[in-house]
Amino acid sequence: MLLTSHDRALRPAADAPGTRTSALKARIGALKAPRRLKAALVASAASVCLVAASASPTPLGVGDRLFPYLGNPGYDVTAYDLSFTYPGTNDKPLQAVTTIDAVTTAPLSRVNLDFARGKVTSVEIDGEAASFAAAGEDLVVTPDEQLPEGERVRITVRHTSDPMTSGGREGGWIRTADGLAMANQADAAHLVFPSNDHPSDKARFTFRITAPNGYTAVANGLPTDVRPAGTTTTWTYRTQHPMATELAQVSIGRSTVVRRTGPHGLPLRDVVPTRHRTALEKWLAKTPDQITWMESKIGRYPFETYGLLIADASTGFELETQTLSLFERELFNDPAFPEWYVDAIMVHELAHQWFGNSVSPRTWSDLWLNEGHATWYEALYAEEKSDRTLEARMRAAYGASDRWRAAGGPPAAPKVPESDSRLGIFRPNVYDGAALVLYALRQEIGRPAFEDLERAFVKRHKDGSATTADFVSLASRMAGRDLSGFFQEWLYGEKTPPMPGHPDWKPTAAEPTAGPKAMEHRKTAAE
């Protein structure tokens, strides 16, 4: 994600040497025999309007250091089927049905789902009505019989999905000038649909979006069906690769889908406001060459399609939603942003398709692997295509690195996000601060070994998730020597170590101009 803050004070000068802050398995087969379930229903006053079960529910989590109650233990989601019915206005709840296919990884007397903004009307387990209740930001479903380990289970939740924020809780649906889009990173997918909302549990997705005629609906993956029915049309999309919940995307608006072909026949589709389609073509046409450039660095594009979703909304970030990156239209028509800068931001989000999407972070403390790499290729692209020197940007980042670490923590041990922070964990330490670690690594092991490592890392962990330890281990293997000490200092040290090959680089007192970071959720240095 790239924070593209539109606060004027945070924007890069047109002549700055680098400034934009660098900012969701196969479908389950046979179902279990029906089981009788409890039906005790009691009104709940929680923010998610639920019916209470007979016993007091408890919120759970997978123990993520930064988001302790995010995700849920005891099961692995294999597939989501999400159905949304848009009422024709973006200030009213959508009617929705979420179907989750999962396999239990432990005996479960209850199944916790993350869900925090909507009204649940019913829950079924394998077609039988189940009791349910709210607990914090969890929807707790209670079968009358414990689910054994290794059980295939299908959970169907009928609910509303509310695009209106409440209680200061941002994220989830974004209201655009003509409809809706999604921005779920890092912990907001469960504001849209019930889920196991943690990047360690990836699954395949099917989306079914019904909207009044005149609207266009687009989602991650490829279209499989468009079905008119009277005054509405239902659009169906499926992903061919597993996806983290935070990367789910649905766009509903008065949009045009622009299609073209990328390298090796890759189908590209951009989603743009119809009235701005012509003005945006200059930017849309850049994507095929940008993909070719990225493939030359780290290998073949990892998904079935790609494109830009350009939204009429002021979000303050760009976001790498899988196969369909979200951008603010303002990024492309604001003269304050020079062309080289916008190009680099486009590459930042594109690079995330490999780093962050195909290879997801196992925990949110591994975020530096996403943002550091996206920032790295953003900066490298600016150097190769626009003569914006990488070394100058890294030297500026080195000068600020100690301050970034003090404010946000070391790159691989970010501080817990403040509850009232708009940026959360997306701080400069995981953007340019993390790209600086990659620069130091290249200095330490040499360019050929570094480039081999990059290709090997995305190939080894494709369609999965990875930890910092995975990267350190592979780097040591590729370099032919133990690099754990090097990474311990660079990723976890309170102070920035000396830069290999640049003993003259020193911390500075003033803030540097931190190259374009796509500030997707931009969460970064120039923020």
Domain map of the chain by residue range? 74-172+179-249, 254-350, 360-492
Q: Determine the residue type at 221.
A: G
- What does the pLDDT read at residue 55? 58
* 3-state secondary structure at position 418: coil
309 Cβ contact list (under 8 Å, min separation 6): 181, 218, 249, 251, 270, 271, 321, 324, 325, 326, 327
CATH superfamily of 254-350: Neutral Protease Domain 2 (1.10.390.10)
Q: Are 231 and 210 in contact (CB under 8 A)?
A: no
Residues forming a β-bridge with 466: 361
**How many whole angstroms separate alpha carbon 142 and alpha carbon 140?**
7
Other CB atoms within 10 A of residue 142 CB: 21
| DSSP H/E element including 132 | strand 128-135
**How many whole angstroms separate alpha carbon 465 and alpha carbon 360?**
4
- What does the pLDDT read at residue 422? 54
Domains 74-172+179-249 and 360-492 fall in the same CATH topology: no
The two structure tokens encoding residue 403? 């301050």
- What does the pLDDT read at residue 512? 53
Sheet holding 94-104, edge to edge: 111-114, 138-142, 128-135, 120-125, 152-161, 94-104, 75-85, 204-212, 232-238, 222-229
- Contacts of range 417-423, beta carbons closer than 8 Å, 24 or more positions apart: 417/66, 420/168, 422/170, 422/316, 423/3, 423/23, 423/521, 423/522, 423/523, 423/527
Residues forming a β-bridge with 139: 113, 134
**How many whole angstroms separate alpha carbon 238 and alpha carbon 80?**
10
Mean pLDDT in order along the chain per 10 residues (527 residues): 48 33 32 32 35 67 94 97 97 98 97 96 95 96 94 97 86 95 95 98 98 98 97 98 98 97 97 96 98 98 98 92 97 94 98 98 98 98 97 97 97 86 83 98 98 98 98 97 98 98 91 47 33
Q: Are 125 and 53 in contact (CB under 8 A)?
A: no
How far lies 78's CA from each of 28, 30, 153, 201, 438, in Å? 7, 14, 10, 9, 34
The verdict on domain 360-492 having CATH code 1.10.390.10 is yes
Select from 2.60.40.1730, 3.60.15.10, 3.50.50.60, 3.40.50.300 the CATH code of 74-172+179-249: 2.60.40.1730
The phi and psi torsions of 458 (rounded to 5 degrees) equal -70, -30
**How many whole angstroms separate alpha carbon 401 and alpha carbon 506?**
10
